[in-house]
Structure 1
Amino acid sequence: MSSLKPGVDQVMQCSSASGGSCDKNGPGHVLRPLQERIAAATASKWSDGIVSSVSGGWIGVTLVNSGDTAWVWTHSIPASLAPGQPVALHTLYSTLAFGPERLSVLIAAAL
Structure 2
Amino acid sequence: MDQNEITLNQLQLEVDNWIKTIGVRYFSELTNLAILFEEVGELSRLMARKYGDQSFKNGESADQIPNEIGDILFVLTCLANQMGISLQDAITSTIQKNTKRDLNRHKNNPKL
| TM-score normalised over the length of structure 1 | 0.25
Structure number with larger C-alpha Rg: 2
The structure with the largest helix share of the pair is: 2
The structure with the largest strand share of the pair is: 1
